Amino acid sequence: MDQAKYQRTGSRPYRGRTFRRGGFRGGQRRDNDEDPYSKKVHTESGFLDSPVMLMFRDYAAKLDAKNDLYEILVKNSRDTTIESKRIIFLLLRCAGHQKGSLEVHQILTEARTRIKELQNTALQKIAMDLYDQDAYLFNRAYSPGLQEYIECLSLWHYLEHETLIGLDGVQKDLRFTVDGREFALLVTPSDYVLGISDLTGELMRYCITHAANPSAQVAIFRLCDFVRAVYVDFLRIPYGLCGKDFGTKIRVMFQSVIKIERVCYQLALRQAEDLPVPPPKFIMKVDDFAEEGLDGAERF
C-alpha cells in the first residue's frame, strides 16, 4: 500500500487529498449517508393535486387560450389587409374619369359593396372573437388590418364626398348584431390616426394619375388643399400618443404633400402659359428626387 496516498488513522485508512471533486472523500457517497433528494416527492398524488399545481395548471390553460386567440386575430387581420388593398386598387381606377360619370359611379358602388362584405366577414369575426375580452390586450394582433381598412374606407369616403371621415363614422360601421347579441370592434384613436396617415399616399397616386385629365384640374387643387389641411392637423398631435410608427408616417405624409404640391405647381404653370397638360409619366419624373427619402429640412 502506498503510504503517501493512504494513512492509517485509528481503525480504518484515511484517504488523502486528491484532485477529484469532493476533497478528502473523493466525491464518493457512502451507502449509509442519507440523500434527501432520493425521495420521489414529485410522483406522489398529494403533490400533483396540491393547490399550487392546480393554480399553475389554470395559468397554463389561460395562456394557451390567449395564444390561440391571438393567432386567430392575426389571421383575420391579414385577410382584412389583403381585401382592403384590393379595394384601394379598385378605387384608384377612378383617376382619369370625371367625377359624377358613370364609370366613377360604378367603381364607387362596387367598392362600397365590397367594403360591406369585408365588414360582415373578417371584421365581424374579430369583433366576435373579442367578445368579453380585453380589446387593448389583443390590439397589436388586429391593428395592422384595421389600419388598412381605415385607409380604404377613408379613400372611398373622400372620393364620394371629398371630406375626411371621422372616428365616429369608422366606429359606426363596426357594430354588429348576431342572434340578438351586439358586438363592436374597438377602434382606438391611435389606430384611426395611423390609418388616416396612410391616406395621403393613396391620394398622391390618385393625383398623379388624375392630373392628366384636363377637366380635373380644379379637383386636383381641392385635393391639394385637403391634404395640406390634414398634414397641418397631424403636426399638432404629440408623437408619444400614437406609437413609435407615427414619426415615420409623418415624414412619409410630408413627402406625399410635396409631390402633390409640385403637380399642382406644374399644372398652374402650364395653365398660365397656355400649354397642354403633360402626361402622367412626365409628372412622375418631376418627383423622382422625393424617393430618396430626404426630410423637409434637407429639401430646402
What confidence category does residue 294 fall into, taking pLDDT thresholds of 50, 70 and 90? very low
Tens digits of residue pLDDT in 200-224: 999 999 998 888 777 778 889 999 9
Strands (DSSP E) contained in the chain are: 6-9, 12-15, 175-178, 181-184
| Among the listed residues 128, 116, 115, the one whose alpha carbon sits nearest the alpha carbon of residue 84 | 115
User: What is the set of domains in the chain, with CATH numbers?
Assistant: 68-185 (1.20.58.190), 198-300 (no CATH)
* Predicted pLDDT at 299: 35
What's the burial of 210, exposed, middle or buried (CB within 10 Å: 0-12/13-18/19+)?
buried
Q: What is the grid cell recorded at 194?
A: 395611423
In DSSP notation, 152-200 reads HHHHHHHHHHSS---HHHHHHTTEEEETTEEEE----HHHHHHHHHTHH
Phi, psi of 157 (to 5 degrees): -65, -35
Q: Are 115 and 156 in contact, with CB atoms under 8 Å apart?
A: yes
Residue 281 predicted with pLDDT over 60:
no
What average pLDDT does range 62-89 have in this prediction? 94
Q: What is the grid cell recorded at 151?
A: 385607409
* Predicted pLDDT at 27: 52
Tens digits of residue pLDDT in 23-47: 445 555 555 555 554 444 444 555 6
* Predicted pLDDT at 30: 52
Tens digits of residue pLDDT in 223-238: 999 999 999 999 998 8
